[in-house]
Amino acid sequence: MNKTKPPISAKSAKVSKTATTAPAKHSAPHAHAHPGEILCAKIDTPLGALLVYVDEKGLVALDFPGAKIAAGSTPATPRDRDALRTAESALRDYFAKNKGLPRTLKSALEGTDFQRKVWAAIEKIPLGKTKTYGEIAAQIGHPGASRAVGAACGSNPLPLFVPCHRVLAANGKIGGFSGGLAVKRLLLRMEGVAFQG
């Protein structure tokens, strides 16, 4: 779970299969994006520039600073689609005002039934609260599947909006995070969460 996340094309957004436009230098707004097209915008935050991906229905993925724009997505700016503008505003409020991120921005995230159950449970963890991998496993009807829950957290395509950083190990230790442990510590401290490690 501590490993770097796979490229977006290997994850739920499946950019390379759904996009209709090859990567190109962004020169004009994509207000009339084609159906199935994935747009990617850089959104500046205290963590650095996050890569936020959207389709015509909403957010599909988020990558942390240092990630490259996924092949098959179209570079954009937050003004190019409502979901990007709203995501930029929500992220600004999250970091500046410690305000929770909305659940309604995302598109349907693709994954296994188990992964979707884990992500749905994680979405319900409120700002400033945490759950353990084991608690999530029990909540979705799979007691003892804490390792599988950890793997599902690592495969979460939309961290922050699906706040897997709020899932900790049973001993109160920090556990893993696709964005790196330093980022997880920063997010938890910002939210006022006590943890070990």
**For 8-97, which CATH class?**
alpha beta
User: Do residues 73 and 59 touch, judged by C-beta distance below 8 A?
Assistant: no
pLDDT digits (tens, 9 = 90+) for 65-103: 999 999 999 999 999 999 999 999 999 999 999 899 998
CA-to-CA dists, residue 160 to 35, 50, 63, 153, 174, angstroms: 26, 11, 10, 11, 16
CATH architecture of 113-190: Orthogonal Bundle (1.10)
Model confidence pLDDT, tens digit, residues 120-145 = 999 999 999 999 999 999 999 999 99
Give pLDDT tens digits for 16-47: 333 333 333 332 333 344 567 999 999 999 99
Domains 8-97 and 113-190 share a fold: no
Whether the CB-CB separation of 43 and 50 falls below 8 Å is answered with: yes
For the chain, the domains span 8-97, 113-190
Is residue 153 flagged as an active site residue? no
Among residues 162, 164, 174, 183, the one annotated as catalytic is 164
